[in-house]
Every structure is written in structure tokens, then in C-alpha cells.
């Protein structure tokens, strides 16, 4: 029925790194419109480093929680700008809330809620502020409310919710981050942080679906 163990978590981080690399130009274009233009390059570098940390953690036999703490630490130390500390803090908090050798839907949803809470505390953002929270929060809600014990199917619902949240940022006026400085001019642009968040949740679904197949 699909569970998040260390092997699947490693597949997730690898898939996320691949997705960020594949979409680097898109992330850069989105961030150029309303930010510093470095979101794509920073995340590509950070997730490449995180993937190496993931390989080491998996080889050391870390359980998924400790694994995510290590990956989050790698992101914090290697990604420039705000995205590294935000993603890294979220993953570290999720890892600390994830007990045992594997996780079902309820356990992963609870861990990612802890990650979202940490992200919101650090960044001060809420849904509607045109940030990565607009994709992260609906993904967590979808996991929590998934009427299935099959984590791979629940993750697909979460990825769909993240992408819907990502698209919903386009008409919003940014209220947090560098984009907020643009005021009304931020309207009409999809948020780069929400876009990278959607990529990461889709990578989770892909990893779990592949593991489940």
C-alpha cells in the first residue's frame, strides 16, 4: 500500500533534485519576474548537495526521520537566499516528527504538518501571501484528508493539490518576500517558491508510485 521508508525517501530526494534541475530555467524565469532571479540556480545547487547527503544517510542506514533531518541540514547549508533555510527547516522539522523505520499516510501527513508549521514560523507567511506555503499547505491538507490508506495514492492527491495551489498564486498580490516589494506588479505572475514546492510534492508522488508498482 506504499510506505515511506529510507529507500523511498532516497528516491524522493533524487527525483526532486532531477525535477529542480529539469525546471531550473522555468524557476529562474518566474523568479526574474518578481524576485532576484536566482531561485532556479540556488535550488539546483542545493538539491544536488541534498541528494549527496541523502546517499550518505541511506548508506549509513538512517531511518526516514533522521534521513530527512540530514537532507534539511544540507539544504540550509548549501542554498543561497531564503529558499534554503525555508525548505531545510521544513524537512528537518518533518524528520524530527517522523518516528520509526517507515511511515504510512497518517504519519507522513503529521510529519509534513510539523514541517509546514516550522516553515510558517520561520517565513511568517500564510496561505494567500503568494509564497511556497500556497502549494505546501494544500498538499498537507490533501494528505490529511485522503480517504485511502495507500500512501502512493494519497501522495498523488497531495501533488495535485500542490499544483492547484501553485496555479492559484498567479492572480495574487504578494504579501511576503521580495515579490511583496512590487505591490500590484506582482499580480499575474506564478510564484516561483510555490512552483518548486509543487515539483517536490510531485517528486514524492512519483517516488512512492514507482516504489508501489
Q: pLDDT at residue 213 above 50?
A: no
Which DSSP string do the residues of 130-152 spell out, in sequence order?
A: SSTHHHHHHHHHHHHH-S-S-HH
Contact 190, 10 (CB under 8 A): no
| Contacts (Cβ under 8 Å, ≥6 apart) of 208 | 2, 4, 8, 12, 151, 152, 155
Q: Which pLDDT does position 140 carry in this prediction?
A: 98
Is the Cα dihedral 18, 43, 13, 145 positive or negative? negative
Q: Which pLDDT does position 95 carry in this prediction?
A: 97
Contact 135, 142 (CB under 8 A): no
Report the candidate in 112, 131, 126 with the shortest Cα–Cα distance to residue 190. Answer: 131
Please state, in angstroms and rounded to a whole number, the distance separating the CA atoms of residues 131 and 190. 10
In percent, the amount of the chain with pLDDT more than 90 equals: 85
pLDDT digits (tens, 9 = 90+) for 49-69: 999 999 999 999 999 999 999
- CB count within 10 Å of CB 28 equals 21
Q: Which pLDDT does position 89 carry in this prediction?
A: 97
Please tell me whether the overall predicted TM-score, pTM, comes out greater than 0.85 for this model.
yes
Alpha carbon of 95 to those of 27, 71, 102, 104, 186: distances in Å?
Answer: 26, 9, 12, 14, 34
Domain at 4-212, CATH homologous superfamily = DhaL domain (1.25.40.340)
Contact 115, 90 (CB under 8 A): yes
Please give the average per-residue pLDDT across 102-126, as a whole number.
96
Please state, in angstroms and rounded to a whole number, the distance separating the CA atoms of residues 121 and 34. 23
- Mean pLDDT is lowest, of 38-42, 44-48, 61-65, 208-212, for 208-212
Q: pLDDT at residue 211 above 80?
A: no
Residue spans of the domains in the chain: they are 4-212
Termini Cα distance of the chain? 10
Please state, in angstroms and rounded to a whole number, the distance separating the CA atoms of residues 51 and 47. 6
Amino acid at each position: 500500500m506504499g510506505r515511506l521508508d529510507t529507500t523511498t525517501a532516497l528516491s524522493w530526494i533524487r527525483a526532486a533534485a532531477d525535477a529542480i534541475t529539469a525546471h531550473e530555467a522555468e524557476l529562474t524565469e518566474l523568479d526574474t519576474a518578481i524576485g532576484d532571479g536566482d531561485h532556479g540556480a540556488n535550488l539546483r545547487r542545493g538539491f544536488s548537495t541534498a541528494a549527496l547527503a541523502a546517499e550518505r544517510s541511506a548508506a549509513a542506514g538512517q531511518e526516514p526521520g533522521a534521513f530527512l533531518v540530514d537532507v534539511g541540514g544540507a539544504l540550509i547549508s548549501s542554498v543561497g537566499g531564503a529558499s534554503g533555510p525555508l525548505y531545510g527547516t521544513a524537512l528537518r522539522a518533518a524528520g524530527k516528527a517522523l518516528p520509526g523505520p517507515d511511515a504510512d499516510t497518517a504519519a507522513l501527513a503529521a510529519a509534513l504538518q510539523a514541517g509546514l508549521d516550522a516553515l510558517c514560523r520561520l517565513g511568517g507567511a500564510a496561505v494567500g501571501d503568494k509564497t511556497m506555503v500556497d502549494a505546501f499547505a494544500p498538499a498537507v491538507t490533501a494528505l490529511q484528508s485522503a480517504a485511502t490508506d495507500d500512501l502512493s495514492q494519497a501522495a498523488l492527491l497531495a501533488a495535485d493539490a500542490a499544483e492547484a495551489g501553485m496555479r492559484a498564486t498567479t492572480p495574487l498580490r504578494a504579501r511576503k518576500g521580495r515579490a511583496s516589494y512590487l505591490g500590484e506588479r506582482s499580480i499575474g505572475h506564478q510564484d516561483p517558491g510555490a512552483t518548486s514546492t509543487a515539483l517536490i510534492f510531485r517528486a514524492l508522488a512519483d517516488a512512492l508510485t514507482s516504489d508501489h508498482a
